[in-house]
Every structure is written in C-alpha cells, then in structure tokens.
Structure 1
Amino acid sequence: MKPMKPMKPLKARQAGPRTLISPRQLNTPRGRLIYWTVLIFVLVLFTAVFVFPLYWMVTGAMKSSGELARTPPTLFPRDPDPGVYKDAWDRLDLGRFLLNTLWYAAGAWALQMAVCVPAAYALSKLRPLLGRAVLGMMLATLMVPPTVLLVPMYLTVRDVPILHVNWLNTPMAIWFPAAANAFSVFLLKRFFDSIPTELLEAAQLDGASSVRVLWSVIMPVSRPILAVVSIFAVVGVWKDFIWPLLVLPDTDKMTVAVAISSLSKQTPDNILLAALVISSIPAIVLFFLFQRHIMAGLTAGGLKG
C-alpha cells in the first residue's frame, strides 16, 4: 500500500470585525435604520454637549441683564442685541488686552520652540549619555500639580538666579516658565523617532552638521508635530489665569483673561459674556486653521518608516 499523504491543515477562517450589528443584519433595511438612528443620535448628543456652552455664551451676551437673570432661563434671546459686543470691546478696552496676550503668547511660543525642538532632537537622534534618565526626569515633572510650583516659580522670577534681576511685570515672567515644557519635548521626540535614520545619514555624508540636519532635514518633515506643539504653547498662555495674575499686577500689562476677571465686578453680565466670546475667538480660529496639522501630528508619532 502506498503511504497516505499527510493532510494539509485547514485554513483558519479569518475573523471579521465584531460589532453589535453583524454585516448580514446591516444589509437589511431594519439593520440600516437602527445603525443610522443610533449613529445620528450619538453624534447629535455629543455635539450638543460640547457646543451648548459656547452657544449659551454667544446668545446670552445678546440678552438683556433682566432676561439673562430670569428663572427659568430662555433658550433664545427675545430681543437680540448684537451691539453688546461693540460695547464690550469699548468698555473693557479689549483691544489692548488682546494685543498684550498675543505678545505674551508669541514670545512663549518662540522661546519654547527654541528650547524644546533641540532638546527633543538631541534625545531622539544624538542619544547623549544618560539621555533616557534625563527624559524620565523631565516626564516625572508632569506628575507634579502646577499649583505646587507657583511659589518656587514666583520666587525664581522675582529674583532670577545668577542674573539677580526682577522679571515681575515684564514679558519674561510669562516667557521664561513656558520655555521648557516636558510634554512638548515628549511629543517632539516621539515624532523624531519615527523619522528614518537614513535621511540623517545621507545628509551627514554630504557634510551637513547636526545643526544643519536639524534645520534642513528634521524641521521640514516635522511640520505636523510642530503645529501641534505650537497650538499647545499658544493656547496654554492664552487661557492661563493664575500665573499672569501673580506676575503681572500692572493693569496696562494684564492678559485678557485677567483683565476680564478684574473688571467683572462693575460690568453687567451680558457685556461680560460678550467679552468672553471675543476673547475666545482667536484660539478657536487658530484651532480651525491648523486642525488638519493637529490631527496629522497626533497620529504620525506612532508610525514607523
């Protein structure tokens, strides 16, 4: 008898994605109806939860003070008055405070890029001695609550070590603490790790120094993550309240958040809401302008090659 040939193992069936509704049910009219009903309901619910506070702030500013204080509150203003936004701009002098905040945010962004980008590049590609330990200690600072650091930071800004200068009531009081950001270094390093080493080696073979490689190779391909870090840096200064309140006591040098809070006691509620809407517009516009880069930067760091 001829020896029997060994039987080939049966191919395992490829398991499809497990969902609440199977593909077969989804192809039926009832399945499609349930799917789209649940999807639209969830999208509308989450959109309402996130958008409603902004809607309430925008429409509440156009109500009168009496209607704004009414119980139960009205969902739509009875007699909307868009002119309250102009009153808030003129009454609170928002133009000056917005320029102050823009100046502080721009300086903090520039200084943070100048510090965090080279630091992340060194930890990712140059790999210095004890680089992992340095990165670990930097990330450990993220576990410290920011309020715990207020007193040491204030004492440092009031009397800067070595220089022995007082930076209170100056832009450096905002720029200096924002320069080194452990979270920004971590995001940048993760992205730099995904850049192929062959690109750097090719540039080094052409005689490029480490600084030239950073400027001509790393920076152009890192625009998505640079946009993410830039947004975080600008918005971090824009929405900060406690630190500018401590280090910028002069009224002419206040940020817009501190100025609105300081003038809120003698300001009607509708004008106060209008001022809050105006102060939120730059950050919202900045997000929508760079939304594509933000999404690309947050996902690209986990890819290799």
Structure 2
Amino acid sequence: MDSDDVSDVEEIWKTFVPSASLLRIDPDDFAFRWRSATLCDMSIVRYSLTAEVHSRVQPEDQLFACRLVTADGVLRSRRSVIEPGMPWATDSTQVEAEWNGTAEVSALIFDRGRAQELARRITGDDLLSLRLTSVHPRSDAAARQWARAFDYLLNSAMSVDGDELIEAGLARHALTVVLSCFPSTFGSAIVRDGAGEGGATVSRALAYIDDNAHLPITVDDVAEAVHISTRGLQYAFRRSIDTTPTEYLRRVRLDGAHRDLRNAANDESVAQIARRWGFGNSSRFNNLYRQTYGRSAKETLEGG
C-alpha cells in the first residue's frame, strides 16, 4: 500500500508489532509505502517512510529482526549504538530509531513461542529456551547473509499463493537465518546436539571461507581444513544454517567481487575482477551478480 496519511503508519505497524510506538512523526514531506506477507506465524515486512521520525520497539511475545537503511538516522539499544544499515534483532531489548528523511525498513517478525517450538525441532533439544543474547549480528558476513536472505524470503513469500508446505519451508528458513546470524541460545543447543561438533565445525568452516574466499579453494579444501569429510560438512551446513558450503562460498566471493567493483582502478574490467574471485564464466557471474545486487556488474563498475 501507499499512503499520505500519518495515522496509517502506527496503525499498520502495531498490527504486526504491538510493542512498536511512534514517539514523534513530522507530517511534512510525508510518504509511506508498505509491503508485507504473513506465513506460518511469522511476517515479512518491508516499508519506506519519508518523514522526521522517532520510534521505539520492545517485543514481549515476539522475536524481531530488522534492518534500517537511511542516510540520516540513529539506532540504539539501551546498551549500545546500532550502525544504520546493519541488521539487528531483539526478543526483549528496547531499540529506538530516529531519522529525518527517507528510511527503508526490512523486518522478520516471529511469534516467540512458535519460534521456540521450531527451534526445538531443528536442534532436537526439547528443553531449549530460545533467547537472543545480542542485538548485533555475529559478523559483517552474517549481516550480509541476513540482507541477502531477506530479499529472497520477501520475493518468495509474495509468490507462495497459499501453498502451506512452501510457507512452512520459508518460515523455517527465515528462522534459521536469524538464529544463524545473531548470537542466541540456539547456537549453544546446536553444539550440544548429537551432531554437536557440527555446530563448531560449521563455525570454523565459515571463518575459513571468509578468510580464504579470494583464493582458489574448493569445498574439499574447506572440509580438509576443519577435519571433516566433504559429505559431513555438507550435512552440517544444511542442518546448522540451512545452506550448503558451495552456496556460502559463492556468496562470500560475490561480496568480494562487489566490493572490488565499487573500488576498482580505472583500468580494471568486470572480467578481471570476476576471475580474481573465482568466476571464470562471465555470463554466469553477471547473472548471479544481477540477481544478488539488482544491477549489472558493469553498472557497479562504472558507478563506483
């Protein structure tokens, strides 16, 4: 929906997050655009809001993961400042946001009780008390993973068309992404689980990939580095973070190529940068790049 009525903002937002409140909103130059999808006791929301805004959220019965992108804004919890553009998550901690201008907000919102039930099924720990232990993501790589996953989830949810099986799969994927990207008791339960070393192994594998993605490593190399079989590594990744080592390695390399394209020297080409990050097929690289970043690699190179 699009709206120029200030009262719509808080009314719609409170439908999804009852604890949310708009402490101040200046109606001058006001613009509001909202997209959302609801599936299996969770909601996926993206909206843009142009105004001078001061807002607050403190979930009680929800688990809330969000990203706010704005050129002029401040985000803070009671204990720390949150960098605008970085995702954050809370299941009880109060977070306040202020901005003057346009902000784009992306959020994954879960019923806390249902999220705990799903987390127990994923870990096999029937006594798991699900709790986030920090509002901040584990790392910059985790923040990027969250942002990419959100775009995929929103686009997929918009085309589900009432298929309950697909909805359940998307909800599971959404929760797994949040609990993989943010510190929580879920991570401890994975480590305690029967495949428990798998959680620690995946953490070591993620770190190895992040540190070595610029080199011509393969999934076999990753498995050898963390002392596990390739098949075992694939199983551990799928169980712990609902992706594969190949997919994660590709995403990290795309991020590296994206960064180099934005900071390229005048004499560098797209093909050179793609090859540097292990993409020998230029056509495939360009397709993956456009799907991930919404523009061509050449446009990024020329635009900086």
TM-score (normalised: structure 1)? 0.23
- Higher helix fraction (1 or 2): 1
- Higher strand fraction (1 or 2): 2
Q: Which has the higher contact order (CA 8 A, sep 6+)?
A: 1
